[in-house]
Amino acid sequence: MCGFVAMHGNPDENLLKDMLDRIRHRGPDGGGVLRIGQGLLGHVRLAILDVPSGAQPMTNERGDLAVAFNGEIYNHAALRRELDDRHRFKTRSDTEVLLHLYEDDAEDMLSKLDGMFAFALAGPRGMMLARDPLGIKPLYYGRRGGTFIAASELRAFPAMDELHALPAGHAMFADGTPWRYARPFPPKRPVVDLPLPEVLTEIRRRLEHAVIKRLMSDVPVGVYLSGGLDSSLVAALMRPHTVELHSFTAGMEGAPDLEMARDVASWLGTNHHERVYTADDIENALPDVIRHLESFDAPLVRSAAPMYFVSKLACKHVKVVLTGEGADELFAGYEYLKTLDQGMELRQELWNIIERLQDTNLQRTDRMTMVHGIEGRVPFLDLGLLRFVSRLPLDLLAPREDRPEKWLLREACKGILPPEILARKKMKFSEGAGSANVVAERIRSAMTAEEFEQARRTAAKQGLRSPEELHYFRIWREEMGPHVPPALVGRTSDPCAAA
């Protein structure tokens, strides 16, 4: 996991180095700058695979192709075996596979990649950028004068003539426009017609495979453990494949997550760590949280605070963590989904919230882990699992009063966890950590009723949903500067944001 800056056309090395300095937290283990043709690549590295030899930017054998890469290619070993008879590899890194794939297949290489990634690849045909099908890893681009500039985070950019996010599943050349090379849900998806026992077996098999492939690392791997269903399943599936599993949780004193995570950690025999924080800790950390989150969306900021603290704890012990992100979107775990028509309206909303993750929960996971120099991996969003579940009959996924949320996932994973853990009800991340309304309550208590009502009206005029979100927006604007467009900030659909 890393960060990079790429320039093409009329690159400015001093500017590039300044931009790299602003995202140095993404790559505390090293860095480099490489000029190639009209391109200039800069990279900061968090060393996960092939620690001694995987430095970037990396070149091919002839030196006419170079890449700056952020992410993990989980099928890199299989791809390497296919390429071995035509190319001489000099590292064990997954990064090098990108170079040789591009030499053979050009942009058609993208359909062969299984992983989370954003990269810039420069060579004789110009500079190509690409982002994984779900947008797990970030990538922004724009123009400044005659120079094309791309980077891993918004805060890296100076004032630009234009600035955009490269959407998930898209690629582009520096002198062209983005095109879509992949969708999380391919068109014309036939519904899976299997008996329920076979559906359950297939879900469990695919989830276990997704977890195991994400243990790929040359450095220690841990798990974020709230004690709820999703993270507990990930931890339980990791445990047989690890000699020592470190688990991490964070919350305010008395928070449900702390006690539940202790129970699961004890049952699994993990090396468990916890961080207890206070309301003052949240308030003091907010500028740093919002600066790195690059968002003022109220539900996202609330959930980012506990992840910020747990990541700060985890970085003392591991460089990679697995999380339970994505299970609620995949298995219809949100309460508001019960209010939708349980036909195509529900199906469409599930597709929509998964596609929006690139600007919401996946952004939170990326930024709150990377600010502390660790990599977050999300097995529930493995494309093999996601594409199978998205084709299941809706009556297996739809929320019903006579069964718990994520019923299908619970049924598929019976026996992995004790029944009392498997039956736990969903809590939002910030609710389980005990910090959901800390800032909102402090804002309300610091104002008179008239001042609060004025703040609410001011927020509404700015397209914000509450005085709390107005507070976050003001911090965001101060931290990000005047040149970053608010339109680049993704918004959650949480109805509780308008408190």
Return the structure tokens found at 457. Answer: 């009206």
Q: Indicate whether 9 belongs to any domain.
A: yes
- Sites in the chain below the pLDDT cut of 70: 1, 50, 427, 429-430, 432, 434, 494-499
**295 and 391 assigned to the same domain:** yes
Containing H/E element for 439? helix 438-445
Dihedral sign of CA atoms 222, 225, 231, 235 in order: positive
Is residue 43 domain-shared with residue 161, that is, in the same domain? yes
* Domain co-membership, 221 together with 130: no
What's the predicted TM-score (pTM) here? 0.94
Report the chain's terminal Cα–Cα distance, integer Å.
36
| CA-based torsion, 310, 239, 54, 169: positive or negative | negative
Which one, of 405, 327, 337, 422, lies nearest residue 365 by Cα? 327
Whether residue 277 contacts residue 250, with contact meaning beta carbons closer than 8 Å, is answered with yes
On average, the pLDDT of the chain sits at 92
Which among 111, 145, 180 is the end of a domain? 180
Domain CATH number, residue 243: 3.40.50.620
> How far is C-alpha 232 from the geometric centre of its chain's CA atoms?
19
Pairing relationship of beta strands 66-73 and 179-180 according to DSSP bridges: unpaired
Residue 176 sits in a domain whose CATH number is 3.60.20.10
Axis-axis angle for helices 279-293, 361-370 (nearest 10): 100
User: Does residue 251 contact residue 276 with C-beta atoms inside 8 Å?
Assistant: yes
Indicate if 53 and 23 belong to the same structural domain.
yes
* Residue 156 shares a structural domain with residue 251: no
Q: Tell me, what's the pLDDT at 49? A: 72
- Asked if residue 238 is part of any domain, the answer here is yes
Give the span between the Cα atoms of 430 and 428, in whole angstroms: 6
Whether 189 is in a domain gets the answer no
User: Do 244 and 164 share a domain, yes or no?
Assistant: no
2 in catalytic set:
yes
Q: Same domain for 29 and 64?
A: yes
Asked if residues 311 and 467 have their Cβ atoms less than 8 Å apart, the reply is: no
Find the DSSP H helices in 315-406. 327-330, 344-356, 361-370, 383-389, 394-397
Q: CA–CA separation, 148 vs 155, rounded Å?
A: 17
* Tokens encoding 222: 């841990």
Domain stops at, among 180, 206, 239:
180
**Residues 200, 175 share a domain:** no
In a domain, residue 186? The reply is no
Q: Is the dihedral of CA 249, 333, 405, 115 positive or negative?
A: negative
By the 8 A CB rule, do 411 and 225 touch?
Answer: no
Residue 403, C-beta contacts closer than 8 angstroms, at least 6 positions apart:
none
H helices then E strands: how many in the chain? 19, 17
Could you report the per-residue pLDDT of 346-390, keeping only the tens digit for each? Answer: 989 999 999 999 999 999 999 999 999 999 999 999 999 999 999
Task: Assess if residue 135 is contained within a domain.
Answer: yes
Please report whether residue 117 resides in a domain.
Answer: yes
pLDDT tens-digit readout, 24-80 = 999 988 899 999 999 999 999 887 876 777 789 999 989 999 999 999 999 999 999
Q: Which two tokens stand for residue 370?
A: 């990377």
CA distance 424 to 6: 46
Helix (H, G, I), strand (E, B) or coil at 168: coil
What DSSP letter does each residue of 128-142 carry, written as one string?
EEEE-TT--S--EEE
The pLDDT assigned to 432 comes to 67
Q: Which of 2, 315, 413, 496 is catalytic?
A: 2
Mark whether 231 and 157 lie in a shared domain.
no
257 and 170, same structural domain?
no
Number of domains in the chain: 2
Q: Is residue 329 part of a domain?
A: yes
CA nearest 271: which of 253, 293, 249? 249
Residue 266 and residue 145 share a domain: no
Q: Does residue 257 share a domain with residue 127? A: no
Residue 442: Cβ within 10 Å count? 16
Distances (CA, A) of 90 to 30, 53, 61, 87, 93: 19, 8, 9, 10, 9
Q: Is 452 among the domain residues?
A: yes
Q: What is the pLDDT of residue 494?
A: 59
Widest CA span of the chain, in angstroms? 74
Residue 74 structural domain: 2-180
Nearest CA among 461, 465, 492, 486 for reference residue 163 = 486
Both structure tokens of 263: 């129970």
